[in-house]
Structure 1
Amino acid sequence: MRIAQRLSYGLLGAPLAMAALPVYIHAPKLYGDELGLGLTLTGLILLLSRAVDTLQDPWLGRLADLAQHRRGGWGVLVALATGLLLIAYVALFNPPVAAGGWLGIWLAISLILVYTAHSALNITYLAWGARASEHSHERTRLVAYREGFALLGVILASLLPMLFVEWFGLAQGWWWFSVLFCCVLIPAVWLLMSKAPLTQLVSNATESDMLQPLRYRPFRRLATLFLLNGLAVAIAATLSLFYIADVLKLEAASGYLLAIYFVSGACSLPLWLSLSKRVGRPMTWLVGSLVAIGGFVWAIQLGAGDLVPFAMICLMSGAALGADLAMPAAIATDLIPESERDRTASYFGIWSLINKLVLALAAGLSLPLLSGFGYQPGDTAGLGALAIFYAGVPCVIKLFSAGLLLRWRPSLEVQNAN
């Protein structure tokens, strides 16, 4: 496969990541703090919106599997999802002047529309990559291109909102970021549809049901690991801006600290891919998990002004990010049996459901629990609880996930030998 084709596939990872990161990092703080909706109501809306959204992901995967057997079906689905995502994303980060319940209703509707459009596009995109080549190593390269561009999108999404708000103010800053997102998404979708490779299908996807992937034990085990690992990462991501602002007192440097984390992840990606060729993808993921725990747990003991120590933590834990991003998706792609290659969207529908579930649990549970422990943004109370929830709880979850990964590693490597 030519590099141009890999680039045409991978580029869409950038705007999809640009869409996702602000939704679960910036939206809670934007609505819960800056717009005055409150942490408890914001967390509840995030939880309920994600709960509604997760129910539809297997259906969207099934829809994509059925659409691919109609001429131009995937193209129509991608185009509709792209249009809806553009409209809903602008609405989410540019709410009208409102207060109380009306602002909450606007948040709920905008979130559900963003989630639906993003899921439909992302599930089809992941399934596209699984069908782009018949060779395992080539599919892994495509995952690397996709996650590499996703990291670029994450870096842009972590830096630009802060800079735009600083330059243009809160309302205009998010408006210009939304415009930029639209300008990146449209050409990326066009390149995917016109230039990215896609293998032909020879069978019919109507023979199995939506939950068929979970009846396959290796994939079910991988899904469990993905849920646990994702929950740990999502809790830390949800609380990161609160931790930086109130524990470290470094709110002005938040964008730069997040950029260090994600740039470190991008730079480490080739190293993890190289290691996976030697020891296998599950073992590489395990090593990455242990590196993440060893680098991140120290954040519990930091305090106001600890810029350099936290930057080092971002650098080390970010280096483990490449393994977290590339290995689970690569394992999932290879675990799909050859007889199920025409049903890849159903597998990634389950994958997307899990990803959303952990984000919902992270925001919907951690924010109200922190409020119950006495933490409120900008106050000095509850900072110890914030540090424990931010760094301690994710490390414990990740350690448990690593233990299961070590135990289940042989079954996850069966399909990865080729």
Structure 2
Amino acid sequence: MTGLDHDVALRRAPLLGFATGSLGMGVWLTVPGLLLLYFLTDVLAVAPWLAGLTLLLPKIADVLLHPWIGHRSDVEQARRGHRRRLLLAGCVLPLAFAALFAVPGGLTGGAAAAWVALLFIAGNLLFAAYQVPYLATPADLRIGYHERTRLMAFRMVVLTVGILLSGLLAPLLTGGDTPTRGGYLRMAALLGVGMLVAMLVGIAGIDRLRQAAAGPAAPEAGGWRALAESLRDRQFRWLVAAYLAMSTTTHLVLAGVPYYAQYELGRPKLTTVLVAAFLAPALLVTPAWLAVARRFGKQRALLAAQSTFAVGALVLAVGRPVGLPVLVAVVAVLGVAFAALQLLPFSMLPDVIRAAGATRAGTYTGVWTATEATGGALGPYAYALCLAAGGFVASSAGETLTQSPAALAAIRYGFGLLPAAMMAVAVLLQRRYTLDRVARADPGTGH
């Protein structure tokens, strides 16, 4: 790319249109991660170890399918000059989302787990069809280092609104303290309608951005050879590895919220409070993280956020003795860090693509979204293993069981100590990423 990249400033209206697509993605990113493990163990009577596998095994398909979708996205870009057909195909996702929670009444245990696993695979495939070309947009545009961060800041704020609204509404729509199968289906149907509208608006926003700042035409994509080239990119490998640890950690925390609220704090309704405390700060602090990244660079800002998250998670492992107000405040601090964990890696990804001189943005984003999907499965699976190790006993909807002291300890430590350790790994991996200094020194090109 030329140094003219930094001359293009994107208008606010198409930015908002593009960002609106993240509302729909926010529902899929949040609700299964927040409720699906609990839905399996405490509504469908699926044993914790099997529930964890139900969420993990479908992600094996994602590791192959997401890069393939990225390749197909690059083919569409090369042949048609846009990625719209895949985006439209992804708009079927709301149907799969509703079906995921529409488990037939007679199914429990292993049979119910099989239903959820099959629909989870279908939903993840449709989600990838939308998300991969969507996230390729910043690399497709003729914009520079700081403008890419600004674009992703808009996305982050709107994504946070989607995550927050779905995270608050989903537990309430399922029936609150007494969730039922019908309540879960009602929740999925209502949120699915909102998903569809938001995703269609996002496609329109992408079209307007491309009209304003489209980059040069891309050559025909190189298939699996292009995938191999992306994996040989050292900067990309370290960024992806760090993001895997981050994604796994944040999804683990989301999966643990209902258990922590019910069994550690003794008040299931606090699930909504904790979700709000975790997600709401991002609406306020994302502009601040954008300013920090401009002043100190994305890498230094991200390392600070990762370290803050790790320290805060240790307090959650103490649990009830520190007091509810302190715990809620700590969760809010994690939310401040979470805003950076969402904004900065996603704005660093197009930096890597442009620095490599790559025109196959879809291939890179396909690997990236496969990594995100893997973290989305590993997080709940890791928490499910903690529950199983502690002897947690699954139950059906409406059934009340007393958990053992070992199970209660597993709920608490899995929500605190394990996230702290995993985020510490993310810090170590992120420190190996060295592109940011170069990209920041020449913001017009990203080289």
Q: Is the 8 A contact 1:331 1:416 kept in 2?
A: no
Q: Verify: 1:193 aligned to 2:203, yes or no.
A: yes
Q: Give me the whole-angstrom Cα distance separating, in 2, the residues matched to 1:17 and 1:183.
A: 13
CA distance in 1, matches of 2:236, 2:118: 33
1:338-370 superposed Cα distances (whole Å, 9 cap, x missing partner): 664531111111111111222222223431342
CA RMSD of aligned residues (A): 2.1
Task: Supply the AA of the counterpart residue of 1:386.
Answer: I
Once the two structures are TM-superposed, the CA of residue 260 in structure 1 deviates from its matched residue by 1.5
Q: What is the aligned partner in structure 1 of residue 419 from structure 2?
A: 394
Over 3 Å counting, the alpha-carbon distance change for 1:376 and 1:10 in structure 2 is: same
Partners of 1:246 and 1:380 within 8 A in 2:
no
Counterpart of 1:174?
184
The separation in 1 between residues aligned to 2:195 and 2:357, in whole angstroms, is 30
- CA gap of 1:234–1:195, structure 2 versus 1, over 3 A, is closer
Provide the rounded CA distance (Å) in 2 between the counterparts of 1:369 and 1:299: 15
How far has the Cα of 1:153 moved from its partner? 0.8
Counterpart secondary structure, 1:37: coil
Change in 2 beyond 3 A, CA 1:171/1:397: closer
Please show how residues 58-207 of structure 1 align to structure 2 within 5 Å.
58-71=67-80, 74-83=83-92, 85-97=93-105, 98-166=107-175, 170-196=180-206, 197-198=209-210, 199-207=214-222
Query: Which blocks of at least 5 consecutive residues in structure 2 are unaligned?
Result: 1-9, 395-400
Provide the C-alpha distance between the structure 2 equivalents of 1:22 and 1:234, rounded to a whole number of angstroms: 11
Structure 1 residue 385 corresponds to structure 2 residue 393: no
Distance 1:25 1:104 in 2: 17
Q: What percentage of residue pairs aligned between the two structures are identical?
A: 22
1:58/1:184 Cα in 2 relative to 1: closer, same or farther (>3 Å)? same
What SS is found at the alignment partner of 1:237?
Answer: helix
**Partner of 1:235 in structure 2?**
252
Q: If the length of structure 2 is used for normalisation, what is the TM-score?
A: 0.87
**Pairing 1:334-413 to 2, within 5 Å after superposition:** 334-337=351-354, 340-376=357-393, 378=401, 379-382=403-406, 383-406=408-431, 408-413=432-437
In the TM superposition, residue 172 of structure 1 has moved relative to its aligned partner by 3.9
Which residue of structure 1 lines up, in the alignment, with residue 230 of structure 2? 213
Unmatched 5+ residue regions in structure 1? none
Is 1:257 aligned with 2:271? no
1:145 and 1:239 map into 2 onto residues whose CA distance is 28
Q: Size of the alignment, in residue pairs?
A: 416
TM-score (norm 1): 0.93
Deviation at 1:169, TM superposition (A): 5.6
Q: What residue identity is the alignment partner of 1:204? A: P
CA spacing shift, 1:186–1:47, aligned 2, 3 Å: closer
Cα shift at 1:337: 2.7
Q: Which runs of 4+ in 1 moved over 6 A?
A: none
CA shift for structure 1 position 72: 7.2
Per-residue CA shift, 1:274-318, capped at 9, x if unaligned?
A: 011111000000111122123221111112894212111111111
**What is aligned with 2:18?**
9
Change (3 A) 1:58 1:68: same
